[in-house]
Amino acid sequence: MTRHARLPLWVDQSPGQKLETLRHLVLDLYRYQLDDALRDVGAMLDAHRPADAEEARDIQRIKCLMARHPNILNMNCEVAHITASAIIIDRASRRTLLHFHKRLKRWLQVGGHTDFETDLAQAALREAREETGLPDLVHFPAPNKPSPIDVDVHAIPRTQDMPEHLHLDFRYILLTEQPAALAPAAGESTRFRWLTFSEAREMGGAIDGALHRLLRKAAALVDGDAD
């Protein structure tokens, strides 16, 4: 419920009450601006079929956080925000691309924050292009109507300028036919590995459980599409 334009009037409010009124005003503006986008994300979550109990819990957690934080598509949501990522696969060799995240010190798929975007599939594609320089990336298995194949919630450690928070990650598959064109932009990670799915699985604890699950899903979809 909105709390601005209600008693006590602004001139009669204490500093604490004014701060709370401003907070609710800002959240109402986010609800007005992003209501359609959040409804689309909610429908995406409703349609998604979790692979295990952990993914099912993550989906419910995202729904609860979306209901409480209408700015959750943006980085200014301090508790958690929605992110988009993708597993990249070379169409010919069926190898997958992982990169070593400079800050988290882990092998991961590419991806990151939405830059005030509401189309998560396009955000994943943009991030992948920026981080790899691959010019021909396309969504798979439905290029014209992409949907995430995996949903994951994970904690991001505190840094000098950001508190610990959650990433609510929507994960896609992207295909390339030009793996040799790999050319990350300046400032991006330069440690990449093209791996078969078997080689990726053999990395064990070097990659986290959610990425193992994402790789299993991607392998099943790509192998099922084999010529």
* Grouped pLDDT means (10 residues each) for the chain, 227 residues: 68 84 84 92 97 97 96 92 97 95 87 90 95 96 95 92 92 97 83 94 91 96 74
Per-residue 3-state assignment (H helix, E strand, C coil) for 83-95:
EEEEEEEECCCCC
Residue 220 backbone dihedrals phi, psi, to 5 degrees? -65, -40
Which among 214, 51, 22, 12 is positioned nearest to 222, based on CA atoms?
214
- CATH number for region 79-224: 3.90.79.10
pLDDT the model gives residue 149: 98
What is the H or E stretch that residue 223 is in?
Answer: helix 209-224
Is residue 122 classed exposed, middle or buried when 0-12, 13-18 and 19+ CB atoms within 10 A define those classes?
A: middle
Do 45 and 62 meet the contact criterion of CB atoms below 8 Å apart?
yes
Instruction: State pLDDT tens for residues 41-52.
Output: 999 999 999 999
Q: Tokens 């956080």 correspond to what residue?
A: 65
**Which pair of structure tokens corresponds to residue 90?**
């070379």
Q: For the whole model, what pTM was predicted?
A: 0.90
**Which pair of structure tokens corresponds to residue 4?**
């601005």
- The Cα 35–Cα 39 span in angstroms is 6
